[in-house]
């Protein structure tokens, strides 16, 4: 009896896994989808669950990578007609739906243009206007016919704007199905997926990076399972002749988006929605993005302007910053 009490006290103070009141914690880091991912989970199955999440993330990378010829995207881009799993059908159908809802601000077939600027290869350059025009003419359509997908001839898909958010949701679904993980925080290179609850029951605190500096612009407080995805020009850009060119392209012009926004963070139940919208709303700019929010209430968002002003939709709670709350 005495021994048990001492062991219990030890476990509590050292935070050892598996002890009463202190669920097992597991952590894993991996490099996938061109980014460092840090996974943390709590619960009796945490260790095994994160191993499964890692396998899932690598397999999604295999399917979604634009630079792998054998991937789903690679095969579509070679002009093949591809049979899809039900999951991939949902991903492509959901992406097409978001593209339509955002008036084409999210454009899944933008690869001819993003490739030209070097954003997928790291070979950055400012293309000539004629090259941009030619690349834009190549932006065709993705067709879905039941579980079959194909592209217009010469057209090329780039799922970089939705892949990580989708992956986060898939990972959360995996954890949910296992039922032996009580909470998890999956940081997929700045795209965050929360799952369940923290061991102490407190809210998840998620920092929003200051687009103009090293620190945080503010901190979000959330409870439960959420996708929290940020798009920002600062995440990937190059500078030529004193001008910054960011990796988010306005499909209407073929040039990097300059909408007055420095970053957009979207919080949604669904990762595809969060990721797709973070990119699209960045392209649209604050006014159009708020109109979109008022018409479609399936997400909340934080907008940071180039001038450093922060706007948060009414459903969110932020700390460590002053911000404008956007109401109806």
Q: Contact at 8 Å (CB) between 264 and 234?
A: no
Q: Which stretch binds ligand AMP (CB under 6 A): 141-149, 168-176, 200-208, 245-253?
A: 245-253
Over the window 272 to 311, marking each residue x when it contacts ligand AMP by CB under 6 A and - when it does not, the resulting string is ---x--xx---x----------------------------
Kind and range of the H or E element at 81? none
Cβ at position 199, least distance to ligand AMP in Å: 30
DSSP 8-state assignment for residue 234: G
Task: Determine, following the binding rule CB under 6 A, whether residue 249 of this chain makes contact with ligand AMP.
Answer: yes
Residue with the closest Cβ to Mg ion? 279
Q: Does position 248 bind ligand AMP by CB under 6 A?
A: yes
182 binds, among Mg ion, ligand AMP, none (CB under 5 to 8 A by kind): none
| Least distance from ligand AMP to the Cβ atom of residue 46, Å | 28
Contacts of 277 (CB under 8 A, 6+ apart): 98, 102, 106, 264, 266, 268, 292, 299, 301
Between 61 and 158, whose beta carbon lies closer to ligand AMP?
A: 158
Considering only residues 140 to 159 of the shown chain, the ones binding ligand AMP according to CB under 6 A are 158
Distance in Å, CB of 162 to Mg ion, minimum: 6
Give the span between the Cα atoms of 207 and 213, in whole angstroms: 13
Alpha-helix runs per DSSP H in the chain: 2-14, 46-64, 72-77, 86-101, 111-116, 129-137, 163-178, 271-284, 286-295
Q: How far is the CB of 252 from ligand AMP (least distance, A)?
A: 9
Compare residues 161 and 206 and give the one whose CB is closer to ligand AMP: 161
Between 218 and 271, CB nearer to ligand AMP: 271
Whether the CB-CB separation of 107 and 136 falls below 8 Å is answered with: no
Cβ proximity to Mg ion: between 46 and 186 the closer is 186
Residue closer to Mg ion by CB (options 175, 248) is 248
| CA dist., res. 77 & res. 95, Å (int) | 17
* Smallest separation, CB 36 to ligand AMP (Å): 15
Closest to 174 in 3D by CA, of 74, 82, 45: 45
Nearer to ligand AMP, 22 or 95 (CB): 95
Nearer to Mg ion, 107 or 275 (CB): 275
Cα gap 285→288, rounded to integer Å? 6
Three-class HEC string of 199-223: CCCCCEEEEEECCCCCCEEEEEEEC
**What is the Cα–Cα distance from 259 to 279, expressed in whole angstroms?**
12
Beta carbons of 144 and 276 less than 8 angstroms apart: no
Residue 271 as a binder of ligand AMP (CB under 6 A): the answer is no
Q: Please identify which residue in 119, 166, 245, 292 interacts with ligand AMP, judged by CB under 6 A.
A: 119
In this chain, which of 71, 170, 231, 263 binds ligand AMP, going by CB under 6 A?
231
**Could you tell me which of 11, 60, 2 has the C-alpha nearest to residue 35?**
60
> 50 φ, ψ to 5°?
-70, -30
**CB-based closest residue to ligand AMP:** 160
Q: Which residues, in sequence order, are CB contacts of 88 under 8 Å at separation 6+? A: 63, 72, 149
Q: Which residues bind ligand AMP (CB under 6 A)?
A: 106-107, 110, 114, 119-120, 158, 160-161, 231, 247-249, 251, 275, 278-279, 283
């Amino acid at each position: 009896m005495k021994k048990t009490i001492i062991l219990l006290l030890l476990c509590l103070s050292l935070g050892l896994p598996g002890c009463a009141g202190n669920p097992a914690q597991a952590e894993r880091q991996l490099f996938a989808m061109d980014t460092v991912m840090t996974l943390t989970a709590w619960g009796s199955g945490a260790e095994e669950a994160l191993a499964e999440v890692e396998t899932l993330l690598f397999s999604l990378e295999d399917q979604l990578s634009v630079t792998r010829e054998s991937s789903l995207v690679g095969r579509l881009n070679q002009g093949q007609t591809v049979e899809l799993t039900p999951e991939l059908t949902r991903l492509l159908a959901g992406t097409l739906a978001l593209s339509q809802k955002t008036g084409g601000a999210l454009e899944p077939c933008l690869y001819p243009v993003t490739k030209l600027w070097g954003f997928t290869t790291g070979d950055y350059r400012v293309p000539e206007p004629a090259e941009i025009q030619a690349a834009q003419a190549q932006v065709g359509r993705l067709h879905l016919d039941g579980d079959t997908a194909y592209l217009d001839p010469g057209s090329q898909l780039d799922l970089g704007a939705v892949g990580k958010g989708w992956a986060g949701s898939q990972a959360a679904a995996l954890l949910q199905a296992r039922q032996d993980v009580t909470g998890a925080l999956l940081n997929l290179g700045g795209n965050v997926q929360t799952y369940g609850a923290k061991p102490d029951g407190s809210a998840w605190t998620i920092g929003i990076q200051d687009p103009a500096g090293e620190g945080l612009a503010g901190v979000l407080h959330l409870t439960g399972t959420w996708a929290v995805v940020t798009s920002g020009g600062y995440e990937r850009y190059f500078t030529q002749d004193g001008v910054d060119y960011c990796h988010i392209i306005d499909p209407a012009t073929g040039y990097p988006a300059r909408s007055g926004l420095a970053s957009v963070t979207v919080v949604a139940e669904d990762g595809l929605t969060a990721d797709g919208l973070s990119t699209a709303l960045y392209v649209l700019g604050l006014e159009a993005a708020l109109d979109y929010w008022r018409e479609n209430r399936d997400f909340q968002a934080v907008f940071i302007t180039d001038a450093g002003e922060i706007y948060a939709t009414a459903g969110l709670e932020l700390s460590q910053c002053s911000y404008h709350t956007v109401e109806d």
